[in-house]
Amino acid sequence: MMTVLAFVAALALLIAVHEYGHYRVAVACGVKVLKFSIGFGKTIFKWQPKGSDTEFVIGILPLGGFVKMLDEREAPVPADQKHRAFNTQALHKRAVIVVAGPMANLILAIILYAIVNWVGVQQPKAILASPTVSSVAQRAGLIGGEHVLKASFVEEDLVPIQSMEDLRWLITRGALNNQNVRLVVAASANSLTREVILDLQSLEVKEADAKLFQKIGITGPWTKPILGEVQANGAAKRAGLQAGDVVTKVDDIAIVDGQQLRQIIRESVTFSKGQTLGLTRNWTINRNGQPVVIPVATEIKSDGANDIGRIGAFVGALPEMTIVNYGFFEGFQVGAIKTWDVSVLTLKMMGKMLVGQASLKNLSGPLTIADYAGKSANLGLAPYLIFLALISVSLGVLNLLPLPVLDGGHLMYYLWEGLTGKAVSELWTERLQRGGVALLFSMMAVALYNDMTRLFVI
C-alpha cells in the first residue's frame, strides 16, 4: 500500500507542477486556458473558480495531464477572442509557454534538493571499505579505512567530500563520462594526507549498476569487522563465536573491515568431486580485549547462481554516519548544481544509448519508479524528496527531447518556423507525430521490459 500511495503522490505532484508551468505562463501571456487536467479518464473532481476562464479537473488515471488552451486549430474561435488563442500568439510567446512545463519540473527539483539540504540528512561518512580484488581502487593503492577528504575530476579543482553519497555521485559521473577522479585521503582523522587517482577511463562503462562499483572497488562505506547477532545452530554458534567479537585475522589475512570479512566468508569454499564444500579457517578475534584463535567451518548456501560460504551471523557494524546540511543560500546553490549535474548526466546517457555506447537497460519504467517510490518513502522524508527530485529532473529533461509528441518536439517546430518564416505543414506535422508516437511507445516498451526483468526475474 505504501508503494502505491507514494507512487500516486509522486506522479500527481510532478504532473501538476509540469502542467502548472504551462498554465501559469499561458495566462501571463494572455492566452485563454479552457481546461487544466491532472489525470485522464473519468472525472472524479472538477471546479471552476469564480471569475476564471479555466475548469480544473482531476481524472481517475493519474498517468499524465494536459492544459487545453483556446486554439483555432481545434475549434472555431469567436473574432473577439482570437487575440487570446494560442495559435495567434507571437512565436516567442508560444515557445515560452511550451518550455515552461519542463522548466517547472527543473525548478521543483532545485527546491526539493534545497529542502533536503536545509533539513539535513544522515549519510555514511566517506570512509572507504576495503576494495574488491583487482579493482580500480586497489590498483590505485587503496586498502580500506581511508577517509576521503576532497575529490574532483582530474582536470578540476578539488572540493570537500561530506559523505559517501557525495563520493559515489562523483564517481558515477566520472565513470559514465569517461573521466578519471582524484581523491585526497587520510588513513585517520589526524594523519597525513595523500592523493590517489582512480583510473575510470580504463573501464568500458555502459550502465551504472552494482557491477560497475565492483569494478571500481568502492562498493560502500567502512564498517568495523565485528559480529552482531549469532544465529542458533549456525556455523558461528557451533564454532563458539559470540556477538561483539572483533575479527582481526582470518588465517594470515589481516581484516580491515566488515566488507572484506564478508567477502572472505563468501569465498571460503572448495570444490571436490563435483561438490562444493566449506573451508575451515582459523579466525583471530578480539574478545574483551584478549586475542583468541577459533577454527570456523563455513556452511554452503546458494545465492541463486553460485554456492557461497555462510557462517550464520550478522557481520559488520553499521557505518559511521554524519549529518549533511547547508545554510539557506548555500542549500539553494547546491540544489541548483545537483539539478544541473543530473540533467547533464541524463542527456549524456540518452545520447550514449542512442548511439549504442550505453545499454538500454538504463531505461526505467513505471514499475521501477513505483518500487523506488515505496522504498524511499519507507526510509523517511529526505530520501523520498530526493527521489522526487530525481524523477522531476528526468521528467523535465525527457520533455525537452526533440520528439514531436513532447514539448521539445513543439520547440523543434518553432525553431523551423523561426528559421524559415513558415510553420511546419499539417502533412509533415502528422507524419512527425506518428513517428514520435512510435518511438515513444518503443522506449516505453523497453523500459517496461527492463522493469519486469529487474523486479521479477530471479
Checking DSSP bridges between strand 181-186 and strand 159-160, what pairing results, if any?
unpaired
Choice among 19, 55, 320, 330 that is catalytic:
19
The residue type found at 303 is D
412 neighbors 433 (Cβ within 8 angstroms): no
Computed over its alpha carbons, how large is the radius of gyration of the chain?
A: 28
Residue among 265, 168, 179, 260 nearest 210 (CA): 168
Strand partners, 33: 69
Residue 152 C-alpha from the chain's centroid? 20
How many Cα atoms within 13 Å fall on the side-chain side of residue 402? 7
Alpha helices by DSSP H, listed for 120-141, are 136-139
Q: In the 8-state DSSP scheme, what is residue 97?
A: H
C-alpha cell at 133: 580484488
Please state, in angstroms and rounded to a whole number, the distance separating the CA atoms of residues 379 and 383: 6
Is position 19 annotated as part of the catalytic site? yes
Cell numbers placing 252: 594470515
DSSP secondary structure string for all residues of 215-261: HHT--SB----BEEEE-TTSHHHHHT--TTPEEEEETTEEP-SHHHH
Contact 96, 25 (CB under 8 A): yes
The 10 Å Cβ neighbour count of residue 35 is 16
- Residue 49 phi, psi dihedral angles, 5° rounding: -60, 150
What nine digits make up the cell of 410?
513543439
Report the catalytic residues. Answer: 19
